Amino acid sequence: MELVVFVLAAAMVLGGALGVITRSNPVHAALSLVLTLFGIAVMFVSHNAHFLAAVQVIVYAGAIVVLFLFVIMLLGVDKAEDINIEPITVQRPLAAVIGVGIMGIIIAAIVVADDVLVERGAGLASTTVDNPDGNIRQLARSIFSDNVFAFELTSVLLLVAVVGTILMARRVKSNGAGK
pLDDT at 127: 57
* pLDDT at res. 66: 83
Q: Spell out the per-residue pLDDT of the chain, length 179, in tens.
A: 888 999 999 999 999 999 989 988 888 888 899 999 999 999 988 888 888 888 888 888 888 888 888 877 777 655 555 666 766 778 788 888 988 998 888 888 777 776 655 555 455 555 566 666 767 777 777 777 877 788 788 888 888 877 777 776 666 555 555 44
Q: Is the pTM of this model over 0.75?
A: no
Q: Under a CB-based contact definition with an 8 Å cutoff, are residues 156 and 144 in contact?
A: no
68 class by beta-carbon count within 10 Å (0-12 exposed, 13-18 middle, 19+ buried): middle
Instruction: Centre a 10 Å sphere on the Cβ of residue 29 and count the other Cβ atoms it contains.
Output: 17
Q: What is the CATH number of domain 1-78?
A: 1.20.120.1200
pLDDT at 71: 77
pLDDT computed for residue 70 by the predictor: 80
